[in-house]
Amino acid sequence: MIPLCLVSHGQPAANPRLVRDGHALAEAGYSVRVVALQLQRNLVEHDRAIADKAKWQYEPVDFSARKNGTMSWNYVRARRRAAAALASRWPSEELVARAAGYASPELATEAGKQPADLFIAYQHNSLPAASWAAKRHGAVFALDAQDLLADCSAEPVALTRSIEMRYLRDCAYVSTMSEAAAKRLQETNNLCRAPIVLHNTPGLWERCSIVPPPDRHSTELISLYWFGQTIGSHSCADQVLDAMSRLPRRIRLVLRGQPEESFVMKLRKAAEDFGLSQQLEILPRAEPTEMVPLAAEHDILLGTQPGAELFHQMAIGNKVFTGMMAGLALALSDTIAHRELLSEVPGCGFLFQDRDVEGLTAKLRELLDDPSRLEAMKLLSWHHAEVRFNWEQESKILLQTVNTVLSRSLLEVQG
């Protein structure tokens, strides 16, 4: 079997694209190693649960047991800070690699312990490690750019741009999550080949336990559903609560994820002030394989990318396609990528402007006044997930790309 190595600073439990690609490549007959930095102790059991069921080999670079006073962790943390400070003036390859993420040298060493024909970095900060391991074995490397980090003011933009300038044009391929993001990466990095688009879609098998929207039992209250790693201001839940308080009939808002305590406290206080405490529900994280059936318990998927930064404007999260797979109507913040999606699947949902509570209220009131329209949206989402936006379709793009890269690499070696 042809060996591949997937390299990530993010743990499997927090990196669905890594897990998804690993499964698809292993199922296609490749020998897949997943080398990932393990920092968050609360995710270790989730990582193990995912890896135990996988056909790929998981090799964590484990720093999850760190404590104050542990020399190795304190050293790694100090090394990154020092490297980041120095890289701002002298952006050498070694300094950039150490500044890009915790334990980059250790990640590179683990990835390079065994040969592979292709090393795939998951996110920009893993590119130096993947590149180093690939060079060690005379192989090629690629990037899955899960976010446009060079366009996000909350990220180290100069460092990210340095990584892009140093590595992207040498990548065998670059993949990302939307057409808008692909165009942006190609334009800003003068790439000869356009990045491929791999949408964050679930597989059709994930909805095998649920029935189509018309066959479900009707619920008393229309339910809006949002899920993510953490429940914070990016959920726009405060705006949704405000809109709910203006509606003529009750609906409920359900949020799933790890709460950011300060935000959730404010949210509960706002719900109490609006008289909506019984209509707000906070639920814990769930396993990735449970997300589609859990979403099917609701009516409208809330997909939010707040703000005007390109980072948000060009992103589409996995929650949007999970909602489609579960047969939910889509309530999406008005961004470039969301507009592109709804132009492909008209009738599946609606857009709303960030901070335009009155506009959101009007959109929700329309669905309350016309339940048949809501049901039509849900059915269209179900249909488009079945015929187009599913991992069975998307994985064909990944596998074809990897096959082409490996064939091209073999021809170059033989030539």
CA distances from 124 to 25, 131, 142, 337, 365 (A): 21, 11, 10, 21, 42
Q: What is the percent of the chain with per-residue pLDDT over 70, rounded to a whole number?
A: 97
pLDDT score recorded for residue 39: 87
Count of helix runs (H) and strand runs (E) in the chain: 17, 13
Mean pLDDT, residues 105-126: 96
| DSSP letter (8 states) at residue 201 | P
Amino acid at 37: L
pLDDT score recorded for residue 217: 87
Tell me which of 379 and 149 has the higher pLDDT: 379
In which band, very low, low, confident or very high, does the pLDDT at 220 lie, cut at 50, 70 and 90?
confident
pLDDT score recorded for residue 88: 86
User: What pTM value is reported for the model?
Assistant: 0.90
Contact by Cβ (8 Å): 354, 306: yes
Ranges of beta strands (E only) in 95-185 are 118-122, 140-145, 174-176
Place of tokens 């359900």: 254
pLDDT score recorded for residue 336: 95
Contact by Cβ (8 Å): 117, 409: yes
pLDDT score recorded for residue 190: 96
Mean pLDDT, residues 289-298: 95
In which band, very low, low, confident or very high, does the pLDDT at 155 lie, cut at 50, 70 and 90?
confident
What whole-number distance in Å separates Cα of residue 80 and Cα of residue 102?
Answer: 6
pLDDT score recorded for residue 201: 95
Mean pLDDT, residues 344-364: 96
> Comparing C-alpha atoms, which of 221, 219, 218, 151 is closest to residue 188?
151
Q: Is residue 415 over pLDDT 60?
A: no
Question: What DSSP element (H or E) covers 38?
Answer: strand 31-38
Mean pLDDT, residues 114-136: 97
Cβ neighbours, 10 Å, residue 41: 12
Cβ neighbours, 10 Å, residue 326: 26
Which domains does the chain carry? 3-201+391-414 (3.40.50.2000), 204-387 (3.40.50.2000)
| Among 92-106, 160-174, 250-264, 322-336, the least confident range | 92-106
Neighbouring residues of 267: CB distance < 8 A, sequence distance ≥ 6: 237, 238, 241, 280
| Among 161-170, 202-211, 305-314, 369-378, the least confident range | 305-314
